[in-house]
Amino acid sequence: MPTERITFAGHDQSELAARLDLPEGPVLATALFAHCFTCSKDIPAARRIAGRLAAMGIAVLRFDFTGLGHSKGEFANKSFTSTVDDLVAACRYLDGRDLAPSLLIGHSLGGAAVLKARAQIPSIKAVVTLGAPFDPSHVTHNFADALPEIARNGAADVTLGGRPFRIGKSFVDDVAQSKLAPAIETLDAALLVMHAPLDDTVGIDNAGDIFRAAKHPKSFVTLDRADHLISRAEDAEYAADVIAAWTSRYLDLTPPAPPPGAPEGIVRVSEADPNGFLQDVNAGPAHHALADEPLAYGGTNLGMSPYGFLAAGLGACTSMTIRMYARRKGWPLDHIWVDVTHDKVHAQDAGTTGGDKIDSFKRVIHLCGELEPDQRAKLLEIADKCPVHRTLERTSHIQTELADKA
C-alpha cells in the first residue's frame, strides 16, 4: 500500500500532518478518517482500516487534528467546532487533488465530528462511526474533576491517556452547545454505527441514540468485546472487514474500463502514467494487461516488467508445447508448471563465443503424473522446440532443466 506523507492548512492555517494511503491500482473512491479526542492518525485501528480500504481501491486520508501528533497549532485552542472545520479543510485539500471524498469514518469524538461535518461536504455518500458519542459534551467526563478549575481560571492542565493536555473553557463551552441530533436527522447519507457493548469510555446507549435519530439507509454492527480504542488487532481487522463490505454497497467501486483494444494481430502498448512507467498493453481487441517497473526502479509495481512479459512468453509457450505433445501421445501428464528466471551473464559463462554479456533464461520444468523416465526425457527435449524458445535462442542463451519428479 503506497502512502504519501503530506501536510495541508487546517482551519486556522496551522500545518496539519497527514498520511494518504493509496491503492496499488486506480483510485475508485476516497475516504477521510477522523481519530478520537486525544489520539492520532497512526493508531492501529486507523492503520488497519486504511489498509483494508486501500486494498479495495479506496484512498484514505488520515490526519492529526490541530495540536496533536505531528500537526502544528495549540491543543488548548482546540474546540469541537475547530475539529469539524479541520475535517472540512481536509476535504478542500482532497478536492484540490481531484480526490473528493465519498466516505467519512470517525472514531469516538471523531465520529461525532464526521456526523456534524457531513452537511458541509456535499460529495459524501456514506458515514461510519466507531464508538461515537451522541452528545459531544460526553467527552468532558474524561476530565470532570478539572471542570471547576476550567470554569474558574479559563483553562486547566489535565492528564488523558497518560499524557498532559491543557483544556480551555472555550472547548468545554463549545461541546456543551454542540448538538448532533439535527445533523443526524438530516445526514442524507448511508450510516453505519459500530460500537462495543462493553465500551466503558463511551457507553453503548450512545450508539442507540445515534441509530434512532438517523433515517434509512442505516446499519448497526456490534464490536463485541472490543475496547474503546479498538486496540486489539483482531477487533481492528474485524471492523475493517465490516466497513469494507458495507461500503461496497453505497460507493461505486467499478474499476475504469481499459483502453479500447487494438486491431486483431496487433499488440498495442500505450502509456498509462506519464509520471512513471505504467503501460496499458492490448493484444488485439479482447486482451488487456499492465506493464510496469518495480518500486525499486521508479515504477509502481502494478504489472509485470518488460522482461517479466518476455519470461512469461517463454514459460507459457514451453508449457503449451509440452502439453500438445503429451496429449497427442496419450501420456499420463497431469499438470505442468514452468519457473523462468532471467539474468545477464558473460557469454563465456553461458558456453557461447564472444566476451560481451548476453541474456540468460533459466527454465525449471515441473511435470506431474505417472510418467516413465524416457517419457520425461522426451518432454524435456520437446521443451526446446517451443517457438518462443527458438526465437529467443537466436540472440539469447536459454538453460533448461527438469525438476525432480513431484
Q: Is residue 392 part of a domain?
A: yes
Query: CA 202, CA 136: separation in Å to the nearest integer?
Result: 11
CA neighbours closer than 13 Å in the CB half-sphere of residue 237? 3
* 3-class DSSP state of 259: coil
Q: Residue 142: in which H helix or E strand, if any?
A: none
Range(s) of the domain holding residue 108? 3-247
285 confidence band (pLDDT: 50, 70, 90): confident
Query: CA 258, CA 236: separation in Å to the nearest integer?
Result: 34
- Percentage of the chain beyond pLDDT 70 is 93
Q: How far is CA 318 from CA 133, 210, 338, in A?
A: 63, 62, 8
| Orientation of helix 169-177 relative to helix 80-96, angle to 10° | 80
Show which of 223, 247, 271 is a domain's final residue: 247
pLDDT tens, residue by residue, 132-186: 988 877 777 777 777 888 788 887 777 766 677 787 777 777 777 788 899 999 9
The pLDDT of residue 265 is 83
Q: Residue 358: in which H helix or E strand, if any?
A: strand 357-368
In this structure, are 36 and 152 located in the same domain?
Answer: yes
Domain count, the chain: 2
The pLDDT of 303-324, averaged and rounded, is 94
Cβ-in-10-Å burial (0-12, 13-18, 19+) of 345 comes to middle
Show which of 198, 214, 247 is a domain's final residue: 247
Q: Is residue 263 part of a domain?
A: no
In this structure, are 240 and 313 located in the same domain?
Answer: no
Q: Is residue 193 part of a domain?
A: yes
Which of 361, 358, 347, 273 lies closest to 317, judged by CA?
Answer: 361
Which of 174, 227, 195, 254 lies closest to 43, judged by CA?
Answer: 227
The pLDDT of residue 242 is 93
Pinpoint the alpha helices (H) of 165-291. 169-177, 181-185, 205-213, 233-247
Q: Is residue 221 part of a domain?
A: yes
Residue type, 84: V
39 confidence band (pLDDT: 50, 70, 90): confident
The mean-pLDDT minimum among 5-19, 175-189, 386-400 falls in 386-400
Which of 171, 103, 130 lies closest to 46, judged by CA?
Answer: 130
Of the ranges 30-34, 138-142, 175-179, 393-397, which is most confident? 30-34
The mean-pLDDT minimum among 5-14, 351-360, 382-391 falls in 351-360
The pLDDT of residue 309 is 94
- Supply the DSSP symbol for 216: S
Q: Any idea what the CATH number is for the domain that residue 346 is in?
A: 3.30.300.20
Q: Angle CA(212)–CA(213)–CA(214) in degrees, nearest 5?
A: 95
